[in-house]
Chains A and B, each alone.
Chain A
Amino acid sequence: MINVRGLTKAYTHSAGAFHALRGIDLDIRPGEFVAIVGKSGSGKSTLLNLLGGIDRPTTGIVRIEGTAIESLSPTELARWRGRRVGFVFQSFQLLPTLTVRENVMLPMDFAGYGPERGRSARARELLDQVGVADQADKLPAALSGGQQQRAAIARALANDPPLLLADEPTGNLDSATGGAIFSLFATLVTAGRTIVVVTHERDADSGVQRRVTLADGAVVA
């Protein structure tokens, strides 16, 4: 599913180059639920960004389902991301001017997923699946944090991507709600989806199948 070889990422600052990742090798199988853990600044979000194609590596290769994503043009990358990857962010990142249902339908519009008239029903179905169908026609601001994150997961699933990437999805939630989100991820993995989640140590046991620990930009465990 995911094959990473010799992945490095360096940021150049006035003080010199900062190496966020130093030669990462990583393989993730289809249907695996992987947690990337590590201290703040260890490079875990950078790795997730490179896996999702929202940042470019300095050196190394990222292959997702056989596609070397660094070889794609910005437009190809955007199309690939829309169809093959679902993102879940720490601060939900729902678009405030669209209703919850519209937020879920938007990736389908971008990717041209399924027949247009069926998108609303699919959005409703996904929202039902994550437990916020009753909030479908509300604006994000009207939802609680947990509800917004569930809606964000529904949006990530909109185009039925095989890969779900989540960057500290419970970072803004209380522990009970966070636990519920991880349970939802576990259910999705059971249904055959691959999930990579950047999280804190404490959440890494919540149904996660494998833990990848980073320190100073390298895999240490």
Chain B
Amino acid sequence: MAPRWRKATRDLMARPGRTALAILALVAGVFQVGAMLYKFALLQPELTTMYGRTDPAAAVFTTDGVTDEVVDVVRHVPGVGVAEARPVVIARVRKGDAEWIPAAVSVIRDFDAQQIDTFKPEAGAWPPGRDEIVLERSALEFSHIAIGDTITLRLPGGEDRAMRVAGTVYAAGLAPAWMEHVVPGYVTWDSPVRGAADGSGESAQIRMRVADHAFDEGYVQEVADSAQAALERAGHVVSRVTIPPPGKHPHADQMAAFLFLLLTFGILSFALSMLLVTGMIHGLMIEQVREVGVMKALGATDRQVAAIYLGQVAILAAVALVIGTPIGLFVGRAYAEFSAGILNVDLTHRPFPLWLLLAEFVLGVVLPLLVALIPIRRAARISVHEALSDGAGARAFGERPFERTLLSIRALPRPLALSLRTALRRPGRVGLTVAMLAVGGAAFMAALNTAAAWNGAVEADFAHRRYDLTVVLVEFQATAELDRILAAVPEVAHAEYWPGASPYLVGPHGVSTVTATMLGPDPGSELLRLPLTAGRWLEPGDLDAVVINQSVVQNHPGLGVGDSVGVRQRGRTTRFPIVGIVKEIAPTPAIYAPPGAVRGVTGRVPGESRSIRVVSRSHDDAGQLRAARALETAFEAAGIEVTGMHRMLDQKKGILDHLVILISILTMASLIVVIVGAIGLASTLTVSVVQRTREIGILSAIGATPGTIAWQVTFEGLLLAVLSWLAALVLSIPLSFGLEYAAGMIFLRVPLPFSLSPSAAGTWLGLVVVLALVSSFYPARRATGLSVREALGST
């Protein structure tokens, strides 16, 4: 081997600590990109194709029955490819004496011949027996139910059925149960549960797929309209037609956001790694200036000198590639499996990532070489005289205005002034390190800020709903009777009966579009006061005035106070003047109207209700639970069947859980960026110690103790950390704004109110200080471990 190549390798081996740090920085880059790309490679095909593989329904008709005759009516409509009866029983489930949990039980005609919204066997029996049920797999952990357990299913008629959980299935088309807080279950056609579906118009569903143009929403709408007309012509009542966005998973937006964030952070962290490599190579070249001068004095050309150091970078990068790639792939797969578990996705496609290895090579070896070219070329071009003169490569302190400003601060004690000036002596390196840490910190704070904004928005929204429970009864009951029952329940402080409906929103051209929630709170009620963005809230004396939420406006842009909104129910369209617009976090359209107006839509009469808003004596979780149980008992004793008992704290948790995945990916990704920043900080401090070796020797010679010298290095680390914190604070403002806006729009269709959490800034400050202390440890130890003789370079 030529001596110059021996020099390249021996230089690396002569400084094992420094070499290890450089490799670590490169490993961090290779690892992150590998992990992120592999995770993306594993998840992306699943997330984009899994929904399609379930043959999702193009339209769902809620009708008055699910007989073969009804299905045939739909099946024979031109354009309909497949039609299938899929009664869904909205029930409640519990294991033993545990709390009731909402459940959606689908009745399946033939488990082995599913054509629409298909699901696969996962564990246990397939199909279940007559008195058995299989649950969607994501429901087990959330509901604390296991295969083999016997659960109680409370059906809409109030009947309780003991059913054995025979197994689990995987329904990729459903949102995970933990997110929706509903247990999806499946029973066979001969199950006694089907009786409950036959008796309830709400649960009788016919699903259809179109023969072609499956992704043309307009075409699907046309075919669905034809099918609805055909059903009505055949004498059936179609109470609801739902057309899910074609080919779009219920949580497709979250998944898209998830993948986008993955890639963004992968690219960001790699860019930071490259900055880190640049900084390290720059530091290395400063150390080597004298040797460069000697080699050039001996006749080496610029190219020959550059080749030696590029060779060093190539060796470092190759070692990092060998270490970082398998770790990246391993962690990427583990992380993909973790995310897949949260999203209820199966990783069926596990290719050996050949393209990824190529990408890793390009990013892990070629790019660092290109990045290193700049500082190496600059160093290789130095003149022999400049390289060999004392203080080679170093610019005199005090030439820059900033340095002169630092000099003018005379009030500082000398050791502190020395630390400060030394730390800020090389602004390029300081800027690089500060930028690396700041980007990680800003991302970290933005994640926490978004979580805080989300929590704040949900809390604020729920604060406007001052009731604790919503009780839904199977049948309408006389409110006088309900009053009597509620009066006997000591846990109930107050209750109101609000009529509700689920009509279609009617668009400007008279076409019914999406379903809206229509609610009739008492205009004088204190239980619901939503924040207004325009107009006013309902007032006593209002007869047909309504208040709409922002989602109605998003569905029908242009609607405002003074306009009217149309709703269609029971084949009849009614228009209401809009007097106010409210902002709430619900993504679904909602119309708030006087009770009489809602009854006008549903055709019900005053003095009866099946929906009760209850204020419990105690508003905490235990208090709500006590009230819910007491109400269950009271209604059961009165022979009144309850179909839904929704606790507000539970609903709030459901909404909060939607952001868990986003925040987790964001926090984890930003922490990886932070780790790269910390390596950068350690590298910067090590380079600083190396460059100041002689200075440290002088300090020792004139009486500085090891503690003083260690403090000098630690101070530099802390100063950089605090500067990065300040920069991160500034950077986190636009980042948080963007993220909060995006999170709000993706999940709630309304931007989250901009919020900066002081605890996020505090947490990051604490973390970055700890990082600085940890990162300073090795360089400080190295500085104090230098013998004065060595440091002064004398023999």
Known: A89-B792, A93-B694. A78 touches B414 (CB 8 A): no
Of the residues B390, B413, B707, B788, contact of A55 by C-beta under 8 Å: B788
B702 & A49 in contact (Cβ 8 Å cutoff): no
Question: Chain B: interface secondary structure?
Answer: helix
Of the residues A54, A74, A83, contact of B789 by C-beta under 8 Å: A54
Name the residue of chain B whose CB is nearest to the CB of A110: B703
Interface-lining segment among B259-267, B279-287, B417-425, B497-505? B417-425
B705 interface residue per 8 A CB criterion: yes
A139 & B398 in contact (Cβ 8 Å cutoff): yes
B789 & A110 in contact (Cβ 8 Å cutoff): no
Interface-lining segment among A31-39, A97-105, A180-188, A201-209? A97-105
Shortest C-beta distance, B223 to chain A (Å), equals 79
Most buried by B among A55, A142, A158: A55
Name the residue of chain A whose CB is nearest to the CB of B788: A54
Of the residues B396, B702, B707, contact of A106 by C-beta under 8 Å: B702
The residues of B that contact A141 with a CB separation of less than 8 Å are: 396-398
The residues of B that contact A99 with a CB separation of less than 8 Å are: 407
In the bound complex, how far is the Cα of B396 from the Cα of A87, in angstroms? 23
Of the residues B421, B700, B705, contact of A54 by C-beta under 8 Å: B700
The residues of B that contact A167 with a CB separation of less than 8 Å are: 794
Shortest C-beta distance, B91 to chain A (Å), equals 76
Shortest C-beta distance, A1 to chain B (Å), equals 19
Most buried by A among B422, B707, B795: B795
A75 & B706 in contact (Cβ 8 Å cutoff): yes
B397 & A87 in contact (Cβ 8 Å cutoff): no
Shortest C-beta distance, A100 to chain B (Å), equals 12
Known: A106-B414, A109-B414, A141-B398. A82 touches B792 (CB 8 A): no
A91 interface residue per 8 A CB criterion: yes
In the bound complex, how far is the Cα of B789 from the Cα of A167, in angstroms? 12
Known: A97-B397, A110-B708, A139-B396. A49 touches B789 (CB 8 A): yes
A179 interface residue per 8 A CB criterion: no
Of the residues A49, A75, A139, contact of B707 by C-beta under 8 Å: A75
Interface size range of chain A in the complex: 35 or more
A78 & B421 in contact (Cβ 8 Å cutoff): no
A52 & B414 in contact (Cβ 8 Å cutoff): no
Of the residues A45, A91, A111, contact of B795 by C-beta under 8 Å: A45
Shortest C-beta distance, B709 to chain A (Å), equals 9
B414 & A105 in contact (Cβ 8 Å cutoff): yes
Interface size range of chain B in the complex: 35 or more
B698 & A54 in contact (Cβ 8 Å cutoff): no
B417 & A98 in contact (Cβ 8 Å cutoff): yes
B792 & A78 in contact (Cβ 8 Å cutoff): no
Shortest C-beta distance, A79 to chain B (Å), equals 6
B418 & A95 in contact (Cβ 8 Å cutoff): yes
A96 & B397 in contact (Cβ 8 Å cutoff): yes
B297 interface residue per 8 A CB criterion: no
Shortest C-beta distance, B404 to chain A (Å), equals 10
The residues of A that contact B795 with a CB separation of less than 8 Å are: 11, 20, 45-46
B603 interface residue per 8 A CB criterion: no
A83 & B397 in contact (Cβ 8 Å cutoff): no
A5 interface residue per 8 A CB criterion: no
Of the residues A74, A93, A105, contact of B792 by C-beta under 8 Å: A93
A124 interface residue per 8 A CB criterion: no
Known: A20-B795, A89-B792, A91-B390. A79 touches B414 (CB 8 A): no
Of the residues B421, B702, B792, contact of A107 by C-beta under 8 Å: B702
Q: Which residues B484-539 have CB closer than 8 A to chain A?
A: none
Shortest C-beta distance, A152 to chain B (Å), equals 10
The residues of A that contact B421 with a CB separation of less than 8 Å are: 97-98
Name the residue of chain A whose CB is nearest to the CB of B406: A97
Q: Which 8 interchain pairs have the tightest Cβ spacing? A: A82-B703, A54-B788, A141-B396, A97-B421, A110-B703, A55-B789, A107-B702, A78-B705
Supply 27 A–B pairs (Cβ within 8 Å), ascending by A.
Answer: A46-B795, A49-B789, A54-B697, A54-B792, A74-B784, A75-B706, A75-B707, A78-B703, A78-B705, A79-B703, A81-B701, A81-B702, A82-B702, A87-B701, A93-B697, A93-B698, A93-B701, A96-B394, A99-B407, A106-B699, A106-B702, A109-B414, A110-B415, A110-B699, A110-B708, A141-B396, A167-B794
Q: A74-B705, A79-B705, A102-B417 are in contact. List 8 more A-B contacts (CB 8 A).
A: A20-B795, A49-B788, A79-B703, A82-B704, A96-B391, A97-B418, A110-B708, A139-B397
